[in-house]
Amino acid sequence: MSKPNAAQPRDIFFVSNSVNELGGITSWSHQMARLFSERGHRVHVVGVVPPPQGRVHELADDLPYKTTTLYDEHPPSVRPVRGLKDRLNLVEQRRRTAREAGMREQAAKMSALFRAARPGGIVIVTQVWAMEWVALAHTAGLQVIGMSHESFATCRKSSRFQRVKRFYADTDRMLTLTREDADHWIRQRLDNVGFMPNPLPFFPDVPSDRSRKCVVSIGRLHEEKGVDLLLEAWAQVAPRHPDWTLRIYGSGEEAEALRKQAAELGVAASVEWMGRTGDVPGALREGSVFALSSRGEGFPLAPMEAMATAVPCVAFDVAPGVREIITDGVDGFLAPPGNITEFARHLETLISDKELRDTMGEAARENIQRFSTEEIVGRWEDLFALVER
């Protein structure tokens, strides 16, 4: 497969907390880095610190782009100064000074990388924490794009909210995941905000035929993913559809508690605990309905993958990203957050109606292609052109 190269090859830097920390941002930035490289851009993925222990994402050996990690080890963490007591705390003061000196040193390394860029270069900061280093570096001649890879509501509840307002205000563009999130940020009076959806991670040649009596869920077993809610909903569905099973892929701290909950709800027999899978396309191909029960999301990849496999989704409508991906009643169903009765009702609708499942599944596979890699890379290149105009 040969794609025409970009009209104007550029130097593109991704700056994240870490180059290879387990999680969505790492997968996303390496996917984008690969796509940009294929288009002939010169990509460099920069991480500020090494990932914490046990959270390492193994990268392929043959990356078509460079990676750099600034710090050898995590710099000392400091609290913000509050009140006189903090100001008089000499130990803390010394740590702070050391940290600031360290930050300048590392930012200088980054400046050196940036200086080597040809005109038209782009710096994409994927996390606001990393922006603190970019802000100290020299970015003259480059366009800086800051990103918030979560929904506005999630960010608002965290300490990142104030930092986004402070550090992204002067970037050439700030990007959120959806138009709706962007509008929220604009109303916070950040007038430089646009949006950029995530690209589809894969598009399988063979979709699911939705004939297996199987509902699939994929995700870490963490309370944020709301598997407890899914089990509650399943307990309303399972007795009426004893021939159906719920397959839960993923592992995590909640595994034990969730098994116990399933037993208490009397659905242990119809729930299959599959553990972590390395073959997501395979898992999805064997499903007929996909359940996304998260309490919070940004622009979730799992339902996109399910839709690409022509599996219709039922999801809690917890973020603009979710409603951007799933069109309620057309290629999937949305339930109000936490409303397990509605969630169960939607699952049941799809379970009991093969025809509807087929219509929605095919529609999903069709509709999700608006986030194909070609589409998204094209949007990025338009954006690069815009910030340069």
Query: Which residues contact other proteins by CB under 8 A?
Result: 172, 179-180, 182-183, 186-187, 189, 191-192, 194, 223-224, 229, 295-296, 316, 318, 336-342, 386, 389
Q: How far is CA 171 from CA 115, 119, 132, 287, in A?
A: 18, 17, 12, 43
Give, to the nearest 10 degrees, the angle between helix 340-352 and helix 227-237. 60
Report the nearest approach of other proteins to the CB of residue 143 (Å).
Answer: 10
Task: Report which residue type is found at 105.
Answer: E
CA nearest neighbour of 277 among 223, 217, 325, 229: 217
Question: 66 forms bridges with which residues in the sheet?
Answer: 44
Which residues, 6+ apart, have CB-to-CB distance to 254 below 8 Å?
221, 222, 223, 227, 228
Least distance to other proteins, CB of residue 67, Å: 31
From the CA atom positions of the chain, what is the Rg in Å?
Answer: 23
Looking at 104-233, which runs of residues are DSSP E strands? 122-125, 143-147, 173-176, 193-195, 214-218
* Rounded Cα distance, 92 and 96, in Å: 6
Between residues 281 and 321, which has the closer beta carbon with respect to other proteins? 321
**Choice between 69 and 192, CB closer to other proteins:** 192
CB of 181 to other proteins, least distance (A): 11
Closest to other proteins by CB, 12 vs 229, is: 229
DSSP codes of every residue in 230-256 = HHHHHHHHGGG-TT-EEEEE---TTHH
Positive or negative, the CA dihedral 107, 108, 111, 112 is: negative
Q: Which residue, 105 or 388, is less far from other proteins as judged by CB?
A: 388
In the bound state with other proteins, the residue whose beta carbon lies nearer, of 70 and 377, is 377
Judged by CB, which is closer to other proteins: 262, or 364?
262
308 near 365, Cβ under 8 Å?
yes
- Residue 299: which of 22, 28, 53, 96 has the closest Cα? 28
Name the nearest CA neighbour of 193 among 261, 127, 251, 146: 146
Q: Least CB distance from residue 157 to other proteins, whole Å?
A: 9
Find the shortest distance in angstroms from Cβ 334 to other proteins: 13
In the complex with other proteins, the residue whose CB is nearer, 264 or 272, is 264
Which one, 340 or 351, has the nearer CB to other proteins? 340
The minimum distance between CB 25 and other proteins, in angstroms, equals 20
We find the least distance from the C-beta atom of residue 212 to other proteins, in angstroms, to be 29
Q: How far is the CB of 221 from other proteins (least distance, A)?
A: 14
On the CB side of 287, CA atoms within 13 Å amount to: 33
- Provide the minimum distance between the beta carbon of 179 and other proteins in the complex, in angstroms, as a whole number: 6
Compute the CA torsion angle 13, 15, 21, 25 (nearest 10 deg).
-80
Angle, helix 128-136 to helix 90-115, in steps of 10 degrees: 70
Nearer CB in complex with other proteins: 170/366:
170
- Residue number, 238 or 319, with CB nearest to other proteins: 319
Q: Which amino acid is at 75?
A: P
For residue 343, the minimal CB distance to other proteins (Å) is 9
